[in-house]
Amino acid sequence: AMGAVIEAPGEAMEELDSPYRRCAGRADRARQGAVVALQMRRATYAQGRSSDGSSIRRT
């Protein structure tokens, strides 16, 4: 449900007042940053596992 709100069409967002738009924009950038960080962590995990299986171990 939250994703549907964040992914709202641009024209719908334009009708809201600017303080909320700025807040929503900040939240969207933070969400994108978290996604990028997660992808980088996943890539680093895959590299570490493939190059040296003993360095990263699941418990």
- Domain segments of the chain: what residues? 25-51
pLDDT category of residue 7 using cuts at 50, 70 and 90: low
Q: Both tokens of residue 3?
A: 């994703």
Q: What is the pLDDT of residues 15-59, one digit of tens each?
A: 555 666 666 777 788 888 888 888 988 888 887 776 655 555 566
In whole angstroms, give the CA distance from residue 56 to residue 46.
9
The whole-number pLDDT of residue 34 equals 86
Choose between 10 and 26: higher pLDDT.
Answer: 26
Read off the pTM. 0.38
